[in-house]
């Protein structure tokens, strides 16, 4: 099955070269009934992943976002608590993930998790789709008072040279309060 070799989440669009849309949807429906794939929501599927303790895992939210945004020319970037969690700056695991986009605003339910696509100004989409954008969104969420120096230092050590370079290039476009934090991460802080 082609889905095993591709993304963790997919839609019928991924199989359009194999037949008419109705035939593809019917085949996907049969695979759902057979338990080979899981319907996350109408038109969106994934491969169920077994877990030895909890049984079947929840759908991968980032794979679902990529599948939902595929074919769209819209930019997107996760923000808020989820960005901070992905970078290890927070243990908070959000029940809803906010995705900033220049595309259409909408809400998508993925079981107990909600994806909130929120339209954002270009200044809030700096570094979109790259690790630098994730860092910027995490800092924006935590603000200065929520960034513990130890965690900031751990993040600085984990950033690769390319991400540091991107952050340094984006620094002049950032809000004034964020610049010193990013300069500490990139090693350009004035002492």
Q: Are residues 105 and 154 in the same domain?
A: yes
Are residues 118 and 168 located together in one domain of the fold?
Answer: yes
The answer to whether residues 91 and 147 belong to one domain is: yes
Query: Is 65 a member of any domain?
Result: no
d(CA 180, CA 175): 10
Domain identity same for 92 and 156: yes
Domain with 45, as residue range(s), is 2-56
Query: Does residue 129 fall inside a structural domain?
Result: yes
131 plus 44 within the same structural domain: no
Is the same domain home to 159 and 112?
yes
Does the residue 46 lie in any domain? yes
Based on the fold, state whether residues 14 and 84 are members of the same structural domain.
no
* Residue 64 within a domain: no
79 contacts 140 by C-beta, under 8 angstroms: yes
Q: Encoding tokens for residue 185? A: 């991460």
pLDDT at 4: 41
Question: Any idea what DSSP says for residue 8?
Answer: S
Q: Do residues 89 and 171 both lie within one domain?
A: yes
Distance of alpha carbon 124 from alpha carbon 38, whole angstroms: 34
Q: Is the pTM of this model over 0.85?
A: no
58-113: per-residue pLDDT in tens? Answer: 778 888 888 888 878 899 999 888 999 999 888 888 888 999 999 999 998 887 88
In the predicted model, residues of the chain with pLDDT beneath 70 are 1-7, 144-145, 189-191
Is the domain of 90 the same as that of 117?
A: yes
Residue 63 in domain: no
Identify the pLDDT of residue 2: 43
Residue 67 inside a domain? The answer is no
Within a domain: residue 77?
Answer: yes
Assess whether 173 and 134 both reside in one domain: yes
The answer to whether residues 77 and 50 belong to one domain is no
Judge if 27 and 90 occupy the same domain.
Answer: no
In 9-143, where does DSSP find H-type helix? 21-33, 61-69, 80-86, 131-142
What is the tally of structural domains in the chain?
2
Report if residue 66 sits inside a domain.
Answer: no
């Amino acid at each position: 099955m082609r889905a095993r070799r591709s993304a963790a989440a997919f839609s019928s669009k991924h199989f359009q070269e194999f037949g008419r849309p109705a035939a593809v949807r019917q085949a996907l429906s049969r695979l759902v009934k057979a338990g080979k794939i899981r319907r996350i929501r109408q038109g969106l599927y994934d491969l169920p992943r077994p877990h030895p303790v909890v049984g079947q895992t929840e759908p991968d939210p980032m794979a679902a976002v990529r599948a939902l945004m595929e074919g769209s020319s819209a930019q997107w970037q996760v923000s808020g608590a989820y960005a901070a969690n992905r970078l290890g700056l927070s243990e908070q695991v959000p029940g809803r993930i906010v995705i900033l986009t220049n595309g259409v605003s909408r809400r998508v339910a993925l079981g107990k998790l909600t994806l909130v696509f929120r339209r954002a100004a270009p200044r809030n989409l700096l570094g979109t789709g790259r690790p630098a954008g994730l860092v910027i969104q995490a800092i924006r969420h935590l603000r200065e008072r929520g960034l513990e120096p130890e965690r900031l230092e751990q993040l600085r050590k984990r950033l690769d040279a390319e991400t540091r370079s991107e952050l340094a290039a984006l620094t002049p476009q950032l809000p004034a309060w964020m610049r010193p934090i990013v300069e500490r991460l990139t090693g350009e802080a004035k002492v």
